[in-house]
Amino acid sequence: MTRILIVEDDIDIRGLLARGLEAEGFEVGTAACVDEALKAAHDPAPGAVLLDINLPDGSGHDICRSLREGGFPGAILFLSARDEIRDRAEGLALGADDYIIKPFEFDELVARLRTHLMRREQAEAPRSRITVGKLMLDLETRQASCGEASARLTPREADLLGMLMENIGKPVSRADIFDRLWASQGGLSLNVVDVYIGYLRSKMADFVRYGGPGLVTVRGKGFMLELRGPDFRQ
């Protein structure tokens, strides 16, 4: 159950938000001032903080700044009646994920809160698969597949394919590939990139028949995965 910390000095608003979020399945903690908020944000750390700006002993800006400087990984959403563009810009510049102007619709708040929680969760979770069009690479098993075709890759081939998939449609230079995958090993030259491109191209040859991307050489720029038709350009 995700814990949400509500920082709001208005007891009525604080209570309404707490009851509403609990009804939505969240665990809720509350604070009415800066000091309470900073203590509640660390034991245990909530998944998100809903921050009012005007507080009796300081500002929600102080809380946001302190949390981000301390490495707080959760979502921070300002809930404020201040509706000037400079107010919103300042809140976001301090590291907030969102700035919602009071009065607001509770359903919209919950929807935006869930969106930010999901984005944070996805960003923190280690990726086990990369998908580009019909091509899928399982980073744990190093299995690449497209339609009915599949290929088992070596660790270095999987790293190379993953790098190209992350840059789909954009050429990646030999130098960039070498720096990321081989520079730390020493004693190797840029030619190792061409060797492994050849290995990968051979293993991916059947993928194009099932609508997979082609591994192409872009003259003077490097190598690129290109989403295209059944033809395959070497």
Q: Average pLDDT in the 94-117 region?
A: 93
One-character DSSP codes across the chain: --EEEEE-S-HHHHHHHHHHHHHTT-EEEEESSHHHHHHHTTTTPPSEEEE-SEETTEEHHHHHHHHHHTT--SEEEEEES---HHHHHHHHHTT-SEEEESS--HHHHHHHHHHHHHHHHHHHSPP-EEEETTEEEETTTTEEEETTEEEE--HHHHHHHHHHHHTTTS-B-HHHHHHHHTGGG-S--THHHHHHHHHHHHHTGGGGGGTPPEEEEETTTEEEEE---S----
In tens, the pLDDT along 158-199 reads: 999 999 998 988 999 999 999 888 877 666 788 999 999 999
pLDDT at 230: 39
In tens, the pLDDT along 9-51 reads: 999 999 999 999 999 999 999 999 999 999 999 878 899 999 9
Please determine, for residue 232, whether its predicted confidence score (pLDDT) is greater than 50: no
Domains parsed from the chain with CATH numbers: 3-122 (3.40.50.2300), 129-227 (1.10.10.10)
**pTM assigned to the model:** 0.57
